[in-house]
Structure 1
Amino acid sequence: MLQKSFRSDSLIGATAPVAIVDVGSNSVRLVVYEGLNRAPRPIFNEKSLCALGKGVATTGKLPKGGVEKALAALRRFRVLSEIMGVKELHVLATAAARDASNGAEFLAAAEAAIGAPVTLLSGGREAELSAHGVISGIMKPDGVVGDLGGGSLELIDVKGAHAGRGTSLPLGGLTLMDASGRSPRAAVKIVREALASSGVAKRLTGRTFYAVGGTFRALARLHMSQRNYPLRVTHGYVIPARDAADFAGLIERANTETLISIDAVSASRRPLIAYGAVVLDEIIRRARPLEVMISVTGVREGFLYEMLDAAHRREDPLLVAAAQFNRLLARAPGHGEELRDWTDIFMKSLHADETPEERRLRHAACLLADVNWRAHPDHRHEESVNIVENAAFLGVDHPGRCYLALAASYRYLGADADVNPQLRALVSPRLLEKARVLAAATRAALVISGAMSGVLPSTPLACVKTKVILTLPRSLADLVSERLQNRLNQLARLIGREPVITIAG
């Protein structure tokens, strides 16, 4: 049953959780999503490190211990799914199960343990799902997706909403560890020879390499920690190609445990870090991409994306998520949409030469303007920044995320406040100024409306020549006050206009 929602948020089966179990070469993971929509929110995420792919490259078989751990995890995941009322449970198996001689035997046991069919993905199909995952989570991607798992590396071209034909190479972390005799130096030759026949260089040069998979995310967390980077979310994190190659080379040569901030990487992931670094280094050296971008969306999210109809796929995931936050957390959710429309009129009159990307960020900021009202007044700006910095938003890069955080902070502290210099350093001067202007307008809107809906449509704000004019209906004339005038004065100073309040009728 479809659940009615706001214009910018279409939910599909929101009351029925959807779960995906990913039976990978390194881990078996259960992710339960609140429902099927363009911005799926995980409500439960648990993995069991089973190392199913350990030794497959040398013995050809799934290890007995790994199989036992995986089946135990699947039985537990079956019970958890029942407890959470999951109506759709999808189980996907990847490289280890398809490469091992005892893979079919394991899959039969896995189906009995989880109580659902298991879909064994071919390498090409896994690449395709990874590409759709990146398409679902990154706005207008243009480059090559590389999904590095424990058993294999999938490579596939993406451009906009279109994916090319993928390929799968036996270059996963566990596979490389076994094939190289646990020698990252020996792994270099294996990776180099495999990439030579993949054609990746022809497709990736001068474009973006979208890095998917736990090992690539671990490398990103380590890179962020060593830089003292102000954000913690890895999705959308960008590393220039040369910097990424230099960093990967360092990881290849160093004793992992001696690295600064190694605690940013889980102990179970550390043995695979060097092999992921080898793969990344060789891809950059051979293909010469412009940059590396981390994507946390991959096979699972690609599978969900494929379940959507064409209309829902075209939705903006950032705006869908912002509308969800607005509906769940704001005092009056209609106020966020009215603020969006109110600032549309203002920005059009300002002739601010707003780009489509800047417009969608402003719309998201308006929908998020009142999601933290339950926090203590002295800490609302901190809570706003925390929500935006750490929310599992898709379709937004790190400068865009910083814009949202800054707009929220300025909205409480004032546009002249000395807001977080680390966040300011990640946005352009133009985007920073737009955050300040939006915050100043939002501060005026709050005084007018009290964050309630039904007010802003009758109180337009517009620039006319050298003036910025706020028009109030006669029924709201008593809202004129020193506080409102001060808020309008601050906005007027930012945009170089004379502030005017008029009473209509």
Structure 2
Amino acid sequence: MKRPRKRNASVAVIDIGSNSVRLVVYEQMSRSLVSVFNEKALCGLGREVQSTGLLAPDAVDKALTALRRFHALCKVQRVERVYAIATAACRDATNGADFIAKAERICGVKIDILSGPIEAKLSALGVISGIHRPDGIVGDLGGGSLELIDVRGNAVRSGVTLPLGSLALQDLSHKSLKRAERIVKNELTAVSQLQRGRGRTFYAVGGTWRALARIHIIQSGYPLSVMHGYAIPASDALDFARRLRRLAATNLLANIEAVADARRPLLTYAALVLEYVIRVAKPKTIMFSTFGVREGLLYSMLSESERAKDGFLCGAQTLNELLSRSARHAEELIGWTDRFVRVVGLRETDEDRRLRHAACLLSDIGWRVHPDHRGEQTLSLITHGNFGSVTHQGRVFVALSVFFRYAGLSEENEPPAVMQAMVTPAQFERARVLGAAFRVAHLISAARPGVLPATHFRSHGRKLMLVFEHRMVDLVADRVGSRFRQLARLVGRSGSIVRR
């Protein structure tokens, strides 16, 4: 009898920001973080810091009340390790140290007040942990400050902190948008970090910028309600930011139900900062990241070898282990499709290969669903999955590959048109090929390990053969031959089964 797998220790981060105080509990410390609990309280600690130098008394009371609940929640969930950080409002306010002392007594852990450069670096590390090979400028907009820092791959340059957080800007400008615009223009025009952003990606981090993304997703009718990795051309983002400012003048922003009441007044300031970031940096794309300081903090604690792993593949592997009938079979499927791609001569980029490997890992996660709905359910699960290090287009490609594995390739079982539109025609056809390959592999092996390594591909001219070793020949059947011939046709070959 197998022993139940020992559960890894959960880890939590308490993030005391200038606008919100948040608790996030992660399943375990790993390359692919999965949050199991996430709660915030919009306290507005930094609401008056710029004008009075103090954390507002009512905001302090709200924050301490929230921290008492968070401490209790960590105990209820038996969180193994708790890390606590505080940002701009606490480091800038003259009564910040007194508040932190009270907060530490409540939380029972040391609270690190992050300096501006450290906060910028952790934001950059968060983006690195959640975006595959980022290249651009990370901008983390909080309530009290804006951190800007250049990232390229795993390399991080020095960052800068500016008093342009939404609450700080509201406070500094005395709620005058004209005055706020002058402040933003003066602060951003000469920032060297932004000068290096031309033609690259600007990674927008922070709750109020995420709120802007949520509005854009709803208004544009975008088919995926996934914030992380949502990307739009900078020109579209600039038009959108300007449009939001016009709405603010007519007070229509107050009616946006998709955004929390306490955050709505800050949307205009966030849009203003984004507008001038685009004007100065001239990026090609704006990408929104839900990975930021908290994820960067935990990523920084991983070993070098763990940080070097592919975040998306690690996430796919976790789902494979949790939901597939055999995790080892999925690993064998990777090798099996590697051989297929090599023998057939399909051209793949590094990105094509990693997405194919991820699809292999996820190819059996829908087996518990009713057979009539496995295709649509896995399509939704993968496209909306809690993954990092993959673009929305990549999500959809992987999801379509697994969809075809379950739904088949007949015209009456086509995926939704909005999903097809999110990938290129070449990617769509590649997903069909990969889905057809999965249908052959899973039919042969019944998703059990040890079978696929005993089958081999051979090519002779335009003929593709699937060779079964002698010990596996009883697995050959007409249905296997039919599916393999379908796969061969998709790559322009005729197909046959060979018994060795």
For this structure pair, what is the TM-score category when the shorter chain's length is used for normalisation?
Answer: over 0.9
Q: CA deviation at 1:463?
A: 3.6
Q: How does 1:409-424 map to 2 (within 5 A)?
A: 409-417=403-411, 418-424=414-420
- Please name the residue that 1:367 is paired with: 361
Which amino acid in 2 is paired with 1:185? K
Q: Which position in structure 2 is the counterpart of 1:78? A: 71
Give 1:436's aligned amino acid.
Answer: R
- Determine whether 1:327 maps to 2:321: yes
Match for 1:491 among 458, 483, 487? Answer: 487
Q: Is this contact kept in 2: 1:30–1:47, CA < 8 A?
A: yes
The corresponding residue for 2:11 is 18
Q: Aligned pair in 2 of structure 1 residues 271, 14: CA closer, same or farther (>3 Å)?
A: farther
Structure 2 residue identity aligned to 1:161 = N
Letter in 1 for 2:366: N
Which whole-Å CA distance do the structure 2 matches of 1:264 and 1:501 have between them?
56
User: Residues 456-475 of structure 1 correspond to what in structure 2 (within 5 A)?
Assistant: 456-475=452-471
Find the partner of 1:425 among 421, 439, 442: 421
1:340 paired to 2:346: no
Q: What secondary structure does 1:339 align onto? A: helix
Q: Distance in 1 between matches of 2:378 and 2:79?
A: 32
The Cα of 1:416 is off from its aligned counterpart by 4.2
Report the residue type matching 1:394 in the other structure: G
Determine the C-alpha separation between the residues in 1 that align with 2:251 and 2:458: 59
Structure 2 residue 373 is matched with structure 1 residue 379: yes
Which of the residues 161, 180, 192 maps onto 2:185?
192
Which of 255, 260, 271 is equivalent to 2:265?
A: 271
Q: Distance in 1 between matches of 2:255 and 2:405?
A: 34
Choose 258-267 or 457-466, whichever is displaced more: 258-267
Displacement of 1:147: 0.1
**What amino acid sits opposite 1:458 in the alignment?**
A
Secondary structure at 1:264 match in 2:
coil
1:444 corresponds to which letter in structure 2? V
Equivalent pair of 2:454/2:472 in contact (CA under 8 Å): no
Instruction: Determine helix, strand or coil for the equivalent of 2:257.
Output: helix
Give the C-alpha shift of residue 184 in structure 1: 2.9
Q: Secondary structure at the match of 1:229?
A: coil
Of 351, 357, 360, the residue aligned with 1:357 is 351
Give the letter for the 1:253 counterpart.
Answer: R
- Alignment CA distance shift 1:119-1:456 (3 Å): same
Q: Deviations over 1:85-128 (max 9, x none)?
A: 22211100000101111111111111111111010001111000
| Worse-matched range after superposition: 180-189 or 100-109 | 180-189
Q: Who is 2:475 aligned against?
A: 479
Aligned match of 2:285:
291
Runs of 4+ deviating beyond 6 Å: none
- The residue that corresponds to 1:251 in the other structure is 244
> Aligned with 1:53: secondary structure?
coil
Shift of 1:296: 0.8
User: Is contact 1:385-1:408 (8 Å) kept?
Assistant: yes
1:47-84 Cα offsets, whole Å, 9 max, x none, are 11111011111111101111011111111111111222
The residue number in structure 1 matching 2:499 is 503
Are 2:306 and 1:306 equivalent residues in the alignment?
Answer: no
Q: State the alpha-carbon separation in 2 of the partners of residues 317 and 465 from structure 1.
A: 39
Structure 2 CA distance for aligned equivalents of residues 279 and 80 of structure 1: 35
Write out aligned runs for 1:222-241 (5 A). 222-241=215-234
Within a 5 Å distance, the mapping from 1:46-61 to structure 2 comes to 46-61=39-54
- Amino acid of the residue matched to residue 405 of structure 2? R
Question: CA shift at 1:259, angstroms?
Answer: 6.4
Corresponding residue of 1:64: 57
- The reply on whether 1:161 has 2:149 as its aligned counterpart is no
Between the aligned partners of 2:451 and 2:382, the Cα distance in structure 1 is: 26
> What is the CA deviation profile of residues 162-203 of structure 1, one whole-angstrom value per residue up to 9, with x for unaligned ones?
111111000011111122222333311111111123223321
Instruction: Flag structure 2 segments of 5+ consecutive residues without an equivalent.
Output: none
Give the equivalent residue in structure 1 for 2:393: 399
Under a length normalisation based on structure 1, what TM-score does the superposition of the two structures give?
Answer: 0.95
Indicate if the aligned counterparts of 1:22 and 1:28 stay in contact, CA closer than 8 A: yes
Letter in 2 for 1:320: C
CA distance in 1, matches of 2:270, 2:496: 60
The count of corresponding residues between Structure 1 and Structure 2 is 495
**Which is further off, 163-172 or 448-457?**
448-457
| Distance of 2:423 and 2:266 partners within structure 1 | 33
Which range moved further: 405-414 or 98-107? 405-414
Conserved? CA contact 1:145–1:156, under 8 Å: yes
Equivalent residue for 1:101, pick from 94, 103, 107? 94
SS of residue paired to 1:129:
helix
Q: Does 1:122 align with 2:118?
A: no
Amino acid at match of 2:216: H
Query: Please, which runs of 5 or more residues in structure 1 have no aligned partner?
Result: 6-12
1:35 maps to 28
Q: How big is the shift at 1:257?
A: 6.6
Q: Which residue of 2 aligns with 1:9?
A: none
Matched position secondary structure for 1:57: helix
Bigger Cα displacement from structure 2, 475-484 vs 378-387: 475-484
Task: Give the superposition deviation at 1:338.
Answer: 1.0
C-alpha contact (below 8 Å) 1:14/1:36 kept by paired residues: no
Partner SS, residue 144 of structure 2: coil
Cα distance in structure 1, aligned partners of 2:378 and 2:453 = 25
Residue type of the alignment partner of 1:297:
F
Structure 2-normalised TM-score? 0.96
Please name the residue that 1:450 is paired with. Answer: 446
Q: Deviations over 1:250-307 (max 9, x none)?
A: 0111148746993332333211111110000001011111111111110001001100
Corresponding letter in the other structure for 1:207: R
Q: Using the TM superposition, give the Cα deviation of residue 332 of structure 1 relative to its aligned residue in structure 2, in angstroms.
A: 1.4
Give distance in 2, aligned partners of 1:17 and 1:181.
43
CA distance in structure 2 between the partners assigned to 1:150 and 1:259 by the alignment: 18
- How much has 1:462 moved relative to structure 2? 4.2
Partner of 1:111: 104
Indicate the SS of the match to 1:174: helix
CA contact (8 A) 1:19 1:89 kept: yes
Question: Partners in 2 of 1:38 and 1:163 — Cα distance?
Answer: 18
